[in-house]
Structure 1
Amino acid sequence: MPDRQALCGILFVLHTGIQWEYLPPELGFGSGMTCWRRLAAWNEAGVWDRLHQLLLNELRSKNRLDWDRAVIDSSHVRVARRGPEAGRARSTERGRAASITSSSTDSASPLAVSLTGGNRNDVTQLEPLLAKVPAVAGRVGRPRRRPDALLADRGYDHDKYSRLLRQRGIRPVIAKRGEPHGTGLGTFRYVVERTIAWLHGFRRLRIRWERRDDTHKAFLGLAVRLITHRHVQRLC
């Protein structure tokens, strides 16, 4: 199957949420299992990672990446089939099996995403998520991969992780636990909530249907690249 034909089938599944075996061959997508294997092969080969870096390089070359601050947040995704990176969610989700999608975003574009079990604390993904941010070139000088400040809600308020951020040269701007609402961070945090809403706009990501975590991560990575590509297209 040609790569373009396979990619169209993968995008159709991502947008509609249809199961692989029901992928309509009359639309020219070919076998659903072939598309599934191609998605797994591309993800394992790091195709999405290289594509994301190229897109971020393009945004930075146009001075459209805001390194003054990044925002982090997470959301629960219900799990239909138990597998790796799926755990019983916290009490707010009534104990259902779930996965957590964490996202780090600048003022417009997603920088990195991660997938963990629903029983994991959000703050534990702070450092791994920052480590996923690629080294972005596109301008004269050394590539850059960390923001000046990181904004987060009360779930990330922990002295240990605040120290880790300062050691990396990142200033933590995190809402304090036990204090009333009205910190003013919502003015800046909406960008990551908007990114999570965009991710849930892809029907395949609203519920985790894949038993294998690498398949769901591949869909998640592709969705992030599509969102970033939209920002690049606006510059043209």
Structure 2
Amino acid sequence: MIERRVRYPGRRQLDDRRVLCGILFVLYTGIPWRHLPQELGFGSGMTCWRRLRKWDEAGVWPRLHEMLLAELRAAGVPDLPRASVDSSHLGAMKGGAATGPSPVGRGKSGSKHHVIVEAHGIPLAATLTGGNRNDVPQLIPLIRAVPPIRGKRGQPLRRPKHLHADRGYDHESYRDQVRRFEITPHIARRGTEHGSGLGVHRWVAEGALAPLHWFRRLRIRREIRSDVHQALITLGCGVIRWRRLRAPL
């Protein structure tokens, strides 16, 4: 039973840790917010949803993102000189912002997850677009979304030295834009045979999407609001980084 205060009528605000556990429960299981079991002490699904949105508006998730990357760098984990990008389609059951007719879903409403990862597959940034958006225009937003990585003395790391991508990102104007960030692009060219050797570095981006979609709430988009789904993406990436931080080196 939720405690009621005598001096200040109304329910006491639920502890942040319990609410976070409720949000993670939904992220892992993919159940609707309204079906969140209150007997587990997480509060109602609407309470968790509102707190998720409130924390997103307060910038909690980007700060968590930067903190975990700093902890990983202090542990000597991130290998930033080489980064890779990739994307993945997912259905959007209720539509909403950042959705569009998916070319791989018979024209049904869908979205795309775009990720940039370092050499070990640790997500550096992830963005959300409509399912009908091309991959190549997301190169620059992904690069800009990588935060300064602190954790050691000196200047924080800001940009990778090399960027690997598949044929979906093959466009000369975007290669030039990537070079302006002092990054060397390694992008497979359309019309060429496989076996260029770029897959040795690029596969980690494809592998990073698998653990991200291991969270059932991220396999199919059920949020109408794109900011709420983006918050769940950032939280999922944070969990992946936290697992890597706890893994034996």
TM range (shorter): over 0.9
What displacement does 1:58 show?
1.4
1:147 equivalenced with 2:156 (yes/no): no
1:100 to 94, 107, 112: 112
RMSD of Structure 2 on Structure 1 (CA):
1.1
Report the TM-score, using the length of structure 1 for normalisation.
Answer: 0.97
What displacement does 1:182 show?
1.4
Q: Counterparts of 1:1-236 in structure 2 under 5 Å? A: 1-90=14-103, 92-108=104-120, 109-235=122-248
Q: Distance in 1 between matches of 2:240 and 2:197?
A: 27
Mark the runs of 5 or more structure 2 residues left unpaired by the alignment.
1-13
Q: Distance in 2 between matches of 1:7 and 1:188?
A: 35
Q: Distance in 1 between matches of 2:40 and 2:154?
A: 47
Specify the SS of the correspondent of 2:247.
helix
Q: Distance in 2 between matches of 1:218 and 1:57?
A: 20
Partner amino acid, structure 2, of 1:124 = P
Report the TM-score, using the length of structure 2 for normalisation.
Answer: 0.92
Off by >2 Å, runs of 4+ in structure 1 = none
Mark the runs of 5 or more structure 1 residues left unpaired by the alignment.
none
Measured against aligned partners, the alpha-carbon deviations of 1:78-104 in whole angstroms (never above 9, x if no partner) come to 0100100000112x3322211010000
What displacement does 1:140 show?
2.2
Specify the SS of the correspondent of 1:190.
helix
What displacement does 1:110 show?
0.5
Q: Distance in 1 between matches of 2:130 and 2:163?
A: 23
Preserved contact between residue 91 and residue 105 of structure 2 (Cα < 8 Å) = no
Q: Which structure has more helix as a fraction of its residues?
A: 1
